[in-house]
Structure 1
Amino acid sequence: MAQNWTVPTEAWRSSRPLGWVLGIQTCAATVYLRAVQSTVLDRPQRHWSVDLEVIPPDDASTTAKPTLEPILIHEDDLEAKYSALLTTDLLSVLADTDSAQPGTLLRLLFPQEAGTPVRSDVLHYRLQGLDEVRKVRSFLKPLVPVSAVPPEQANLSSNSAQSFMQLLKGAIGGIVAQSVTPGEDMSQLRHTLDVELKLRLSFPWSIPNPLSRRRVFWVQGRANIEASRQFYQAAKALGIDLVVLDEPGHWMGDDSGPYAHYREAFIPMSVDGDEGLTDRIVDAVRAYPKQVDGIVTISDVRLPHVARACEILGLPTSPSAAYRIAGDKGATRRLEDSVSGTESFVLQSAEGLDAVLARRKESFTYPLIVKPCTGWNSDCVVKVRNQEELYAAVRRASARHASSPAKNTGVVVEPYIDGPEVDVNFVMLDGEILFCDITDDFPCAGDLAAAEGSPLAANFMETLMDVRSILPQEEQDMMRDSLQKSIKRCGFQSGIFHCEARVRGSHMYYGPRDDNGLLDLRLRPLDGKLPPPATCYLHEINARPPGYINCVAALLAYGVDYYAIRLLLALGPSEDARIRALAQPFSWCSRLVSQYGLGIVVLPPTKEGIMGSEDAVGEFLDANPDLREHVVFYQTVKQKAEVVQGPDSSELWCIGYVIVAATKSDSRKKVLELAQLMRERFDYKLMEEV
């Protein structure tokens, strides 16, 4: 599903023809491959390649006959990692190939210079979504350096198995590829691969200095593997040993469990976000028999406790005070108002509302937004239109976390900003933005509710997020710069940040599209007047990566893994080189490129009860193959036997998420249509319906 990139010139690559033929002997058959060419790409590429075309078994033409005797290698003579590519992967692709399918290409990749790969699965995660690539096989191991292989070695010093094996041992991996375009010949396929690999691997995937194995404590190991797999895989590929701290009985606690290989150890302990959490973490680190190099959590309520533990232990961290400000929407709001002027107020409890109303009654302009100072998933966020609704919303928001381990009865009341909402994610290092992506967050029920008579239950659960934003570039730049300042005001210089904000006075608004009537951003008519510049209104700063589904979307769209970078940030300045490398997205001529038009569709509950479906989202997609073909990832949140809150519940839990993709010039239109169909058709079974 990758985009079709326009390449202005061939000057960035050079190719040399090759003439040898390789025969891979297996118990079932012998597969012959003709070495066609070696290709060297200009900087910043750090790899070169050898292309081998599979010779069809029935090809009796003279062009298929080699000038040299084939180099024969039996599968038993290959190391396991090479056999996996040259036999298992290649044969499986050939077995699935239709007789009318264009040819099959095996491309071997070699390093141009010596160094240590920044992560061992770099080929897998940067080549995701490339339709032409049927199989990817990496020969890299975590933290193990590679040696430069001169391109001249592709000519082979002799027409022998020994000469080929010497070449193969220098490879970092290989891919099996086939054209997806009818009528495309092999030279066009090779050109497509050259373009795509230049786009995807134009970053320092290896660094000159050696790397050593590190150890990180991960506080709260997440609900299940489906909500954390990317994090665990990143740690393994980075050469980081994880020690998971979580409640007794957690799914990562079983040393014989199916996912135990992702962690070094599991420490059962309370991870409640109370004031004792810091001491419990410090005690666990001091009691561990091996050196601990960093501590990580991606849980909002636990962030300041983990940071304080790092301060006590002398481990790398941003200030715990910064995390406390970012985690308290009241403190963040006060900080913003100190710069932009007071439009909001913060209550320590619901009882403080009377005094504020008496003091500021004339200055209120409804509607207003009411939300707890602590919270997530837009839980308990309400738009109110009069004083009666204000009182009810404040009481509810104040009570939301009054009895939780991290007790907080504070409430924020702020103006409702009628402008496009965006999610803005940052990778920052020493105050510098290394990467920033902006996503359009489509209107929620609370936005779309009628001006009068709207129920208080109209909530702000997300509906659709479109990657990437189509706001005017000057508004995107303004939002990026403004939010960076907000992050620094909290006290941060480095980290990953998920910010939610609205564009006040945007040149765009949400209205029906002309072509399909679906809601989308539209340009406002100017009416001959030059509108004032738009401004940013911050809702919240989350000093952590975005939610799991958004991290997956960023990896697919841009090739940037927020979890990997967050792990490295926990290890301090010694990992700056890897952080800078992994923060570089797919690129062409230094512009930010997304390989997809992506839409993250939120599937809300339609009925309440006990979940009866084994995999609600997966079963839905199986029943709708016309939709599934456009899905690149999905996540089921509500598992079988879990309680499903109904559509009118105050608890904002969705059933799951689906990432849909489109790649044509009208990808945004297609994504919106797919999202609409997903939400219209989605259904699941409760226990009584099974």
Structure 2
Amino acid sequence: MRADLKDNNDAAEKWALNKLADETGTAAIDICPNHVSKDLIKDLNERSASWDAIRFLLDNLPETGSIVKLLVPLQTGYIIQSDFLERRMVDCPYVVKIQCFVAPSQYIRSSTTEAFSSMSISNLLPHCYGAVVIKADSPSSAATKSASIDAELEKRIAFPWLAPGPIPRKRLALVGAGSFPKVQGYLLAAISLNISLVAFDDASHWMSDDTYGHLREEFVPLNMDVTEDMAQYIARSLQEYQKSSPERKRIDGIISVDEHLHSIIAVAATHLGFNTSPPESVSLAQNKFRTRQLDNNVFCRLVRTPEELEKLISEDGQHFSYPLIVKPSKGWSSEGVWKVANEQELREKVPLLWRDSFTAWHGRDIVIETYIDGPEVDANMVLVDGEIAFFEVNDDFPSAGDGIALEANTRVPNFVETSNMLPSFLPPFELASLRQRLHELALAAGFRNAVLHIEAKLRNSSCHYALAPDSGGLIDLQLKTPAATTTTPNDVFLLEINPRAPGWQEVDATARAYGVSYYSIILLNALADKDRILALSRPFQGGSQYNMQLLFVSAQKGGIYKSGDICTKVLQQDPQNPSQEEQLGPHVVQCANLMEDGEEVLDPRTGQVYGNFIAFFLVISRESRKEAIRIGQEIERRVRQLTDGF
């Protein structure tokens, strides 16, 4: 559909309005260089500067080969998340700038395509809810790229981004705010969802500083020492806070980003009548031995003392089928996880987990169980009323402890994360098996409304990790035989259920690849806002927008880190060898240094690996999975080189 450009002196100039798919509730209007006149600029400058769309157009007036694509609503309702456009258009090809012009929970009134087509640009701008800037190489390519972006919009915003009724402002208590990288995503999501956050933490916590006042409504000092009655203490503290001004300080829910507090927070939420998973379910999930009882089809024993270990060996040792896995029952971050090949190694590794430095964090309960072969996966699940609203499976590449990776002989043989690939390479029938069985186990554990991070293995899979053909030494999942994709029986083996989102790096990976933010969903789950959860759990049509490797590079020795900003060093071009160094920057959409100069790093051979990561990188390829893996391998090689093998 086309309409006269009434602001332009040349009446022959036209601009186009394109109605997108109905589910998007949107029409798109391209403003090209020949649509911009001096009269239009003068008119826009004389109008209210408070209109974000006007300011955006003035700041991004098209130059040769570029387009500003304005978005107008064809549906009426209330904005469910004010930055949904920026979130959903992330990493979109050809797009150089994105902006929403709406406030949290703002009411949006639609119009018809006919009405919008009859307006001048000046009169159209106040109706725009957002815009994107497209950079084209030349005017001749502009139309092709504009059509491509319209197709991307139909894949990305074809979900209910408007609610039929008003969305009142809510308030959450954030108890245990953690580090800035872990909580930043929640803070930004809360603002866009019209949710206030009140932070409760130790008086010296970084969020107490007024510098971060724009990210939270208030900071309330709270003693965070873990005690037996901590849940009751938290509940009382929140009740006292609300009583100080009942009308102004009503709290509607409670969350925490500190994993060791999750069962405590669930109990406190129950006392206060807030939405939460059952405390007994959260407690079960945090205990690996109890979780194993959900599906106890392998050898699994619990020992708490050297005497119990000796008794187990004397009574059952002759029946052990090595290798075995040894791990803390309440561990995390792969701390203290060992694969033992014989009785001697079993006697060596278990006592290491009873050192004071371990028991202070993980307790004395040690699980000894069968090692299961097969591809490992990270499966992330959003449950609403017991039904799956979103489910994804990522391939968790072998750690050195598995003894599969080529670099295992040069790496510490532990189970520290190496890399994740998404989407999974596993065939559809195996993904369906994972979805069905892990859903059954989540319900058996008592979860009905939750975000769950589940780790599992697939026994008798049709795939295994091996050298990829013609890959130059890359390891990836490969089909064992062509027939195995349809005839091989497979079995899902649960490693653990975590009643939380995955680590913040994986949360960011999913948000970029699929357009689904666990930060937003967890906040809404604490408020039992199921309608918005269902809306924001809708991934891009067609699935992941690219192949992505979530690459972790961990320290292989203890000592003092002295390599500085390793991400910048890895990604910058070597000026002395510009032709020999591959340009990696365009393939890295996010990265972060996880160590600082002068930081002391424990020797990973002790099993204490918390804080062991040097850096992480989100590596993408729109061409192939193999390319993403190859680039990730080159990034890790450069990190090792630049840190002198640290």
Query: Normalising to structure 2: TM-score of the pair?
Result: 0.90
Report the CA distance shift for 1:33/1:656 in structure 2 as closer, same or farther (over 3 A): farther
1:268 aligned to 2:233?
A: no
Q: Deviation at 1:617?
A: 2.3
Deviations 1:642-671 (A, max 9, x none): 22334545222111210111001xx11101
Counterpart in the other structure of 1:8: none
The equivalent residue for 2:500 is: 544
Match of 1:44 in 2: 23
Distance of 1:400 and 1:559 partners within structure 2: 43
| Map of 1:615 onto structure 2 | 565
Q: Counterparts of 1:456 and 1:384 in 2: how far apart (Å)?
A: 16
CA distance in 1, matches of 2:486, 2:531: 45
Q: Deviations over 1:166-186 (max 9, x none)?
A: 422221111111236x78533
1:9-158 counterparts in 2 under 5 A? 16-20=1-5, 22=7, 35-55=14-34, 72-80=42-50, 81-88=52-59, 90-91=60-61, 94=63, 103-156=65-118
Tell me if structure 2 keeps the 8 A contact 1:389–1:456. Answer: no
Task: Tell me how far 1:106 sits from its aligned partner.
Answer: 1.4
**1:219-368 counterparts in 2 under 5 A?**
219-224=175-180, 226-255=181-210, 257=211, 259-288=212-241, 289=245, 290-337=249-296, 341-368=297-324
| Distance apart, 1:74 and its partner CA | 3.9
Pair 1:470 & 2:425 matched: yes
Equivalent position SS for 1:682: helix
CA drift at 1:368: 0.4
Structure 1 segment 523-534 matched on structure 2, within 5 A:
523-525=479-481, 532-534=488-490
The one of 629, 641, 646 aligned to 1:672: 629
Judge conservation of contact 1:381–1:459 (CA < 8 Å) in 2: yes
**Aligned-residue offset at 1:46:** 1.2
Deviation at 1:131, TM superposition (A): 2.2
Amino acid corresponding to residue 476 of structure 2 in structure 1: D
Cα deviation, 1:143-196, whole Å, max 9, x if unaligned, reads 111111222222335xxxxx644422221111111236x785333222112100
Structure 1 pair 448–279 and aligned structure 2 pair: CA distance change class (3 A):
same
> What residue identity is the alignment partner of 2:27?
W
Q: Distance in 1 between matches of 2:373 and 2:24?
A: 46
1:515 matched to 2:470? yes
Corresponding residue SS for 1:626? coil
Counterpart of 2:277 in 1: which secondary structure? coil
Asked if the contact 2:6–2:121 (Cα under 8 Å) also holds between the matched residues in 1, the reply is no
Unpaired runs of at least 5, structure 1? 1-15, 25-30, 58-64, 95-101, 158-162
* Residue of structure 2 in register with 1:577 after alignment: 531
Is the Cα–Cα contact under 8 Å of residues 497 and 543 in structure 1 kept in the other structure?
yes
Other structure's SS at 2:22 match: coil
SS of alignment partner, residue 424 of structure 2: coil
The 3 A distance-change label for structure 1 pair 150 and 529 is closer
Q: How far, CA to CA, are the matches of 2:485 and 2:70 in structure 1?
A: 59
Point out the structure with the larger helix share: 2
CA drift at 1:117: 1.2
Structure 1 stretch displaced more, 287-296 or 639-648: 639-648
Identify if the C-alpha distance between structure 1 residues 459 and 306 changes in structure 2 by more than 3 Å, giving closer, same or farther. same
Which stretch shifts more, 103-112 or 576-585? 103-112
- How far off is 1:614 after superposition? 4.7
Partner of residue 345, structure 2? 389
SS at match of 2:24: coil
CA distance in 2, matches of 1:273, 1:76: 60
Normalising by structure 1, report the TM-score.
Answer: 0.85
Alignment-derived partner of residue 61 in structure 1: none
The one-letter code of the counterpart of 1:135 is K
Distance 1:532 1:348, change over 3 A: farther
Q: Deviations over 1:31-88 (max 9, x none)?
A: 999652111123222111222211299xxxxxxx99xx86841425242423431122
CA 1:113–1:485 in structure 2 vs 1: closer, same or farther (change >3 Å)?
same
Aligned-residue Cα RMSD (Å) equals 3.0
